[in-house]
Chains A and B, each alone.
Chain A
């Protein structure tokens, strides 16, 4: 079983974010980065399937030089090797254009399964897996809570809205977008970190893959949302309780 996991590097949660001058994206100079959380769960599911069924897990990441820290972490957790599509201006590639990069790299590997997180913490478009599936002409399913593999047959549990679920079967190869919480995340061990240094990371460029950055939309501005509700800022606990009792009549 060859499983490829597409991971994304995003600013660490709770980063203080500001629009960049010119405001097409955020100011990145002082940020630190980490793996996109849903992608960490996608990687975890892939590693556990490999442990149960054997095979290989390949991490794939498109991003600038800094993405190599996230790739190393995936290798330290147990991915066997990695592909780094080096793109300096990855944040200017829209969801379709960046999925074309990933799909082109995946095509060279012909994996049995492609996993990715259900959405990214930065863009939050929630599309990469579905677009990659269409580009590769593979079946897919989204927001997966459970993966059952039996030989060449695949059955997954999808999360639907309002507490509903559904099992869906499909042939391999297939693309799945994994829901956060599917399994408990592992930490990289010291041994894993040491081993990761010797694992193969193949570097590819957009030109190597024959993909150009053709946009379906342009980001004309990034800004802090306007507050639409009258929010009262309270500074002490006594003030808050007073307002809840006397003004909101909520106690």
Chain B
């Protein structure tokens, strides 16, 4: 028997999209679709052992994963066991002349690469938004064999750091800042705009990594997910990890001097300009408009 295996992650919003993608590929390739949702405690070693046994036993040709942090931790290891590279973080999948074609991003979304897998099995992980989750039929459910070796990793309980003082998800307006601000000393430009708009301040990961703003103000896959009425992205290029955290915003304004910045793909209003020239003028104009 051979077919497509969708490896789902319990309780993760990307699992439904992954199943929908598997069903679509199955229909186009004429392959049966199976799914498995591991319930054993997570370690990279245990998941790899158990899934490798299942894939080998049932000879699955195509294995689809949601591109989650957990999948990033073990799926490359699993693919290596089959002497294959995982094609990770796929944003589009299609079938051409009976073959899978995948699109993934390069340079944090500035370019796309079209990928043609060679040989089987094919291992693919899907980024959020690659597929519509609704309407995915259930697939034949596989049971995961028990891992045969003792995992070397010994995980402890998951925890959150001190309660978040800032809940960005409730904000109506957010001004978000990226690397384009260059120095911590320039942040006042963003703070003044946020004050004029009555907005919360948020940032991309590198700004928080540098300690210029607290981690709790980070928007994106490792920070908060927001959907305000107005999201103003300043000097922020828009890596996919950031975009997944804010693309549901109602109106998105992007100010960036690089016209190819991926943030412009999700923006409603784009200004290709130097933020150091634009911000003071914008702050003054907003104050006037709100008068």
Pick from B85, B86, B211, B268: contact of A248, CB under 8 Å:
B268
A126 and B72 contacting across the interface, CB-CB below 8 Å: yes
Report the bound CA distance from A158 to B158 in whole Å. 9
Q: Out of A19, A142, A161, which one reaches B222, CB within 8 Å?
A: A161
15 A-B contacts (beta carbon < 8 Å): A96-B84, A124-B108, A125-B86, A130-B73, A134-B48, A143-B73, A165-B158, A165-B160, A169-B153, A181-B206, A219-B114, A222-B112, A225-B105, A240-B253, A240-B271
Q: Determine whether the beta carbon of A181 is less than 8 Å from that of B222.
A: no
Q: What A residues does B258 contact at CB under 8 A?
A: 14, 16
- Of B44, B161, B173, the residue contacting A140 (CB under 8 A) is B44
Within A127-175, the residues touching B (CB, 8 Å) are: 127, 130-131, 133-135, 139-143, 158-161, 163-171
- Contact string against A for B residues 260-288, beta-carbon threshold 8 Å, 1 for contact and 0 otherwise: 10101111111110000010011001100
Q: Which residues of B contact A223 (CB under 8 A)?
A: 111-112, 114
Nearest chain A CB to B43 CB, angstrom units: 8
* Beta-carbon nearest neighbor of B157 in chain A: A166
B interface, CB within 8 angstroms of A: 44-45, 48, 68-70, 72-74, 76-77, 79-81, 83-89, 101, 105-119, 152-161, 164, 173, 179, 197, 205-206, 208-211, 221-224, 229-230, 250-251, 253, 258, 260, 262, 264-272, 278, 281-282, 285-286, 289-290
Chain A interface (Cβ < 8 Å from any Cβ of B): 11, 13-14, 16-17, 19, 26, 94-97, 99, 121-127, 130-131, 133-135, 139-143, 158-161, 163-171, 180-181, 184, 215-225, 227-235, 237-238, 240-241, 243-245, 248, 250-251
Q: Is the interface of A mostly helix, strand, loop or mixed?
A: mixed
A160 contacts which chain B residues (CB < 8 A)? 69-70, 158
Partner of A161, one of B68, B105, B111, B159: B68
Closest chain-B Cβ to A195's Cβ sits at a distance in Å of 28
Is A139 a contact partner of B269 (Cβ separation < 8 A)? no
A145–B74 Cα gap in the complex (Å)? 18
Knowing A17-B110, A95-B86, A122-B107 touch, does A134 contact B81 (C-beta < 8 A)? Answer: yes
Contacts of B229 in A (CB 8 A): 250
Complex alpha-carbon distance, A174 and B54, angstroms: 26
Q: Is the CB of B269 within 8 A of A244?
A: yes
Q: How far is the CB of A245 from chain B (nearest CB, A)?
A: 6
B-side contacts of A16, CB under 8 Å: 258, 260
Q: Is A237 a contact of B77 with CB atoms below 8 Å?
A: no
In the complex, A146→B138 CA distance in Å? 40
A96, B85: Cβ atoms under 8 Å?
A: yes
